[in-house]
Amino acid sequence: MARDTLAEVPDETLLVLYANGDADAARLLMDRLLPRVLGYAARLLSDRTEAEDVAQEAMLRLWRVAPDWRSGEAQVATWVYRVTTNLCTDRLRGRMRRRATPLDDAPEVADGAAGAEAGLIAADRMAALQHALDSLPERQRQAVVLRHIEGLTNPQIAEVMDIGIEAVESLTARGKRALAAALTGQRAGLSYTDESD
Amino acid sequence: MKATEMTDLDLDTLLSAARKADVPPSEALRVRVMADAMAVQPRPVASHAADPGASGWLDWLSAVFGGGGALAGVSLALVGGVFIGVVQPEPVAALTNALMADAQADSVELLPDAASLWEETLND
């Protein structure tokens, strides 16, 4: 089927088309899901190479489940996020077993003078955010990233994390507070002083 | 609030910027993912249509007899007839004897004897 015809087709339909031999459907599904899965894994793992491996594995599991996909049971994107979450959890636990996670290894945020240009400031802010995310407990980090960066709804997050909606609300609230606390002291370095003070 | 503390607005701004910051997959990753997709994609079930050249005569014969079912029936009747003719099962032989008892003959003379023709000529 032509790609422009598929543009408005839901993920689930694309998955069925893929299972029936449509290569274009697979490519379009990859275009939609891979950047999201990769970004999510990168946020959870803080490691681009590992994130790519996880994203590839999550997509491979999607391809494999395609022939047996049960319509209406789950959203394709939610399913992939869930697989990615589990794969990242496995990797993080593997890291914990190998060594204590050295939070101090996270990149230092450059000082304000070094980040004079807007691009550098933005990069500093993202590095600081990633450092702060890394300091959160695993479940809080997942919930915060899914809610505030990936833009999932609380019911979707509940499905991804296999918990209740109230638990999601609790995790995201506590995670956001912890995130703010982790970033405390860096506000000036991230040039927020210039904008909001 | 101290100047060093992140406000809700600061945090929301930061998270919003993170949401917009794409993590574009590398071309190498895209190639790997598509290769996986093609490798595990279910293959269409192969058609079991036979070679039309090889079975063309069978199709033609089926058409003559009105389909495969009719052809099978005719074939069965043919095989049954040959079997009865060759083996001559006991019930069939008994039935034949009962029907043909009066008409039984050891030999049938289909042409008159040449000597009788000669005799007629001499008599004339």
pLDDT value of position A115: 40
User: How far is it, in rounded angstroms, from Cα B37 to Cα B28?
Assistant: 14
pLDDT value of position A110: 44
Q: Which of B17, B15, B20, B4 is nearest to A196 (CA)?
A: B4
Question: Are residues A115 and A42 located together in one domain of the fold?
Answer: no
pLDDT value of position A98: 75
Contact criterion met (CB < 8 Å) for B23 and A35: yes
Q: What is the chain A residue with the closest CA to B28?
A: A52
Chain A residues with CB inside 8 Å of B17's CB? 122, 125-126
Beta strands in chain B (DSSP E): none
Question: Are residues A151 and A112 located together in one domain of the fold?
Answer: yes
Instruction: Show which of A101, A133, A148 is a domain's final residue.
Output: A101
Residue A134 contacts B where some CB pair is shorter than 8 Å: no
Question: Are residues A181 and A132 located together in one domain of the fold?
Answer: yes
pTM, two decimal places: 0.65
Note down the domain range covering A46: 1-101
Question: Are residues A89 and A160 located together in one domain of the fold?
Answer: no
pLDDT tier at B104, thresholds 50, 70, 90: low
Instruction: Show which of A101, A125, A140 is a domain's final residue.
Output: A101
Q: How many CB pairs under 8 A join A and B?
A: 114
Chain B residues with CB inside 8 Å of A66's CB? 41-42
Question: Are residues A87 and A117 located together in one domain of the fold?
Answer: no
Query: From the CA atom positions of chain A, what is the Rg in Å?
Result: 19
- Shortest CB distance from A188 goes to which of B4, B29, B42? B4
Question: Are residues A109 and A120 located together in one domain of the fold?
Answer: yes
Average pLDDT, chain B: 73
Q: Give the least confident one: A115-119, A177-181, B105-109.
A: A115-119
Number of domains in chain A: 2
pLDDT value of position A28: 95
Contact criterion met (CB < 8 Å) for B34 and A148: no
Question: Are residues A115 and A68 located together in one domain of the fold?
Answer: no
Average pLDDT, chain A: 85
Using CB atoms within 10 A of its CB, is residue A41 exposed (0-12), middle (13-18) or buried (19+)?
Answer: buried
pLDDT tier at B4, thresholds 50, 70, 90: low
pLDDT value of position A113: 46
- Which of residues B109 and B123 earns the better pLDDT score? B109
Please say if the pLDDT value at position B58 is more than 70.
Answer: no
Question: Are residues A65 and A10 located together in one domain of the fold?
Answer: yes
User: Is A18 in contact with A63 (CB distance < 8 Å)?
Assistant: yes
Chain B residues with CB inside 8 Å of A39's CB? 22-23
**Per-residue model confidence as pLDDT tens digits over A3-53:** 667 778 999 999 999 999 999 999 999 999 999 999 999 999 999 999 999
Question: Are residues A108 and A177 located together in one domain of the fold?
Answer: yes
pLDDT tier at A96, thresholds 50, 70, 90: confident
Please say if the pLDDT value at position A80 is more than 50.
Answer: yes
Question: Are residues A84 and A141 located together in one domain of the fold?
Answer: no
